[in-house]
């Protein structure tokens, strides 16, 4: 006899079945059940949509007729294993209904009854194409970072190094994973001891920064680097989650730039300032004198008869004379004074203020005496002379070009008067 309780139980069972089927149909993954003879007993809405068949058409169909012979052949070994009672999980590259290629992760789970007999198996296939694409992108990004010539390291929000590429390890002098978990302050120099705090301060406003920093390598060497810094914010509160630092060793470039600058401003033979250098510095030189309201002076020095030395003994002998005169000039002036080779056999000396006529003559006469000291020419000691022209300048007087022209005229007056002497001109 059927009771009310039996009716309620049956109603509840039917409701539970409907809820279960509704839940399965709402799952985006492909769910299907195959019995032990590989006949379809159930397929959820996603499975029906994927294969373009409604449930009643899939019900009772053999798995080979659904998957096709090629996929069936690929998956059949897994079917044999799951029907033997083993849960299986594998990835499979597939062609989607729209023709594009994708990747699924497939789970076969055996349905075992109370007596241990496998009655069939359920399948859950999830589309992980986007996940795999992200994984591939990350793998390629990691390979690109690792292959980069720039040193790249990543820290956590506390400044602990999480990763570093091979270029970074070489730059810092560490091997393998030695840098991992070290505080980035380990790379700080005496000037950048709290390196992490300094880096955070740089990116506090914009989140990125570029500039120059010095780092300390494992053996204590300091290296100047061109740095690019950026932060990655956490997804929840927007706090700093990662700090990414790119470094490029520019110490060699800086030294090369210094050498190029030196070569562009120095005379290669005498290592004095060259013409372009002294012409650039004369403006500041005169401005300083005017600022102190004091006189200054320019000495134009020309080697007497250098051409005859070159013609008689060769240019190597002439070069020795030029170096001898350059050293004599440097020895006769103060550190604050400027000595330059203008080219050929001509030199200029700028005497910083305060300098009067008497003091300028004293410097010029010291130069005459110093140059007369013997210099070796063709293996024999030889005495050389110079002619010196002095141009004195009062505050806010001649400009640079006018001062040099006046000193040049005074020098030619000294030559015309017999050489090896000084001639003075006042503006």
Could you report the per-residue pLDDT of 48-102, keeping only the tens digit for each?
988 888 989 999 999 999 999 998 999 999 999 999 999 999 998 877 767 778 8
> For the purposes of burial, counting CB atoms within 10 Å of the CB of 335, is it exposed (0-12), middle (13-18) or buried (19 or more)?
exposed
Cβ pair 103, 93 in contact under 8 A: yes
Helix axes 251-265, 275-291, angle to 10 degrees: 80
Give the range with max mean pLDDT: 117-131, 183-197, 246-260.
Answer: 117-131
Distance from C-alpha of 280 to C-alpha of 299, rounded to nearest angstrom: 17
Q: Is 220 left (phi over 0), alpha (psi -120 to 50) or beta?
A: left
Q: In angstroms, rounded to a whole number, what is the distance separating the alpha carbons of residues 262 and 347?
A: 18
Secondary structure of the chain: what % helix, strand, coil (to 5)? 45, 30, 30
Residues 6 or more apart whose Cβ sits within 8 Å of residue 374: 381, 382, 383
Judge whether 394 and 295 are in contact, CB under 8 Å: yes
In whole angstroms, give the CA distance from residue 62 to residue 70: 14
Span 333-360, pLDDT tens digits: 999 899 999 999 999 999 987 788 899 9
Q: Check if the beta carbon of residue 36 is closer than 8 Å to that of residue 83.
A: yes
Mean pLDDT for the chain?
87
Please tell me whether residue 62 adopts helix, strand or coil conformation: strand
Cβ neighbours around 238 below 10 Å, total: 8
215 vs 9, higher pLDDT: 215
CA-wise closest residue to 321 among 336, 341, 337, 335: 341
368's CB contacts (< 8 A; 6+ apart) are 385, 386, 388, 420, 421, 422
What is the average per-residue pLDDT within 282-293? 90
Domains of the chain: residue spans and CATH:
4-132 (3.30.450.20), 148-254 (3.30.450.20), 266-426 (3.30.70.270)
Q: Which residues pair with 58 in a beta bridge?
A: none
Tell which residue, 60, 105, 64, 112, has the closest CA to residue 85.
Answer: 112
Could you tell me if 121 and 34 are in contact, meaning their C-beta atoms sit under 8 angstroms apart?
yes
252-265 burial: b if 16+ Cβ within 10 Å, else e: eeeeeeeeeeeeeb
CB atoms within 10 A of CB 333: 18
Q: What is the mean pLDDT of residues 100-107?
A: 87
CA separation for the pair 306, 322 (Å, rounded): 9
> Would you state the pLDDT for residue 132?
84
First to last CA, the chain: 138
User: What is the pTM for the complete model shown?
Assistant: 0.50
Share of the chain above pLDDT 70, in %: 93
The CA dihedral of 9, 14, 18, 21, to the nearest 10 degrees, is 100
- Averaged over 20-29, what is the pLDDT? 84
* pLDDT computed for residue 8 by the predictor: 45
Sheet of strand 101-112, all strands in order from the earlier edge strand to the far edge: 40-43, 30-35, 118-127, 101-112, 88-95
Return the SS3 of 250.
Answer: coil
Q: What is the mean pLDDT of residues 169-196?
A: 83
The pairing of beta strand 386-393 with beta strand 380-382: unpaired
Closest CA to 96 of 167, 169, 46: 46
Is the predicted pLDDT of residue 236 greater than 80, yes or no?
no
Give the rounded distance of the alpha carbon of 48 from its chain centre: 54
Q: How many residues does the chain have?
A: 427
Q: What is the pLDDT of residue 10?
A: 47
In 31-40, which positions are buried (b, 16+ CB within 10 angstroms) versus exposed (e)? bbbbbeebeb
Mean predicted confidence (pLDDT) in 1-11: 49
pLDDT, mean of residues 218-226: 90
**What's the pLDDT tens digit per position in 350-403?**
998 778 889 999 999 999 999 999 888 877 888 899 999 999 999 889 999 999
**Cα–Cα dist 347/300, whole Å:** 6
Rg of the chain over Cα atoms, rounded to whole angstroms, equals 44
- Classify 267 in phi/psi space as left (phi over 0), alpha (psi -120 to 50) or beta: beta
């Amino acid at each position: 006899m059927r009771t009310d309780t039996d009716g309620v139980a049956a109603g509840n069972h039917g409701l539970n079945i409907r809820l279960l089927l509704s839940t399965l149909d709402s799952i985006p993954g492909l769910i299907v059940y195959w019995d032990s003879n590989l006949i379809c007993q159930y397929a959820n809405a996603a499975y029906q949509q994927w294969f373009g068949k409604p449930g009643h058409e899939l019900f009772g169909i053999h798995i080979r007729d659904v998957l096709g012979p090629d996929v069936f052949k690929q998956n059949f070994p897994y079917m044999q294993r799951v029907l033997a009672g083993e849960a299986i999980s594998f990835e499979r590259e597939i062609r989607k209904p729209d023709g594009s290629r994708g990747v699924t992760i497939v789970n076969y789970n055996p349905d075992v009854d109370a007596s241990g007999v496998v009655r069939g198996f359920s399948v859950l296939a999830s589309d992980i194409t986007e996940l795999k694409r992200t994984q591939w992108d990350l793998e390629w990004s990691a390979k690109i970072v690792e292959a980069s010539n720039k040193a790249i390291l990543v820290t956590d929000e506390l400044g602990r190094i999480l990763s570093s590429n091979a270029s970074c390890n070489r730059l810092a002098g560490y091997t393998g994973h030695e840098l991992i978990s070290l505080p980035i302050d380990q790379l700080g120099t005496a000037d950048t001891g709290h390196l992490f705090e300094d880096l955070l301060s740089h990116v506090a406003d914009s989140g990125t920064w570029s500039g120059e920093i010095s780092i300390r390598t494992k053996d204590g060497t300091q290296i100047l680097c061109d740095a690019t810094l950026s932060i990655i914010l956490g997804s929840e509160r927007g706090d700093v989650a990662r700090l990414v630092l790119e470094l490029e060793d520019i110490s060699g470039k800086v030294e090369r730039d210094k050498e190029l600058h030196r070569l562009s401003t120095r005379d290669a033979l005498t290592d004095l300032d060259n013409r372009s250098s002294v012409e650039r510095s004369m403006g500041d030189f005169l401005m300083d004198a005017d600022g102190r309201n004091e006189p200054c002076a320019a000495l134009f020095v020309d080697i007497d008869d250098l051409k005859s030395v070159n013609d008689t003994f060769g240019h190597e002998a002439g070069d020795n004379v030029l170096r001898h005169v350059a050293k004599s000039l440097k020895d006769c002036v103060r550190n604050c004074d400027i000595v330059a080779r203008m080219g050929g056999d001509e030199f200029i000396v700028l005497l910083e203020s305060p300098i009067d006529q008497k003091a300028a003559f004293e410097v010029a006469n010291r130069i005459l005496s110093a140059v007369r000291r013997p210099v070796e020419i063709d293996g024999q000691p030889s005495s050389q002379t110079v002619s010196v022209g002095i141009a004195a300048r009062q505050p806010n007087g001649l400009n640079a070009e006018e001062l040099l022209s006046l000193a040049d005229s005074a020098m030619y007056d000294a030559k015309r008067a017999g050489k090896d002497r000084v001639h003075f001109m006042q503006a």
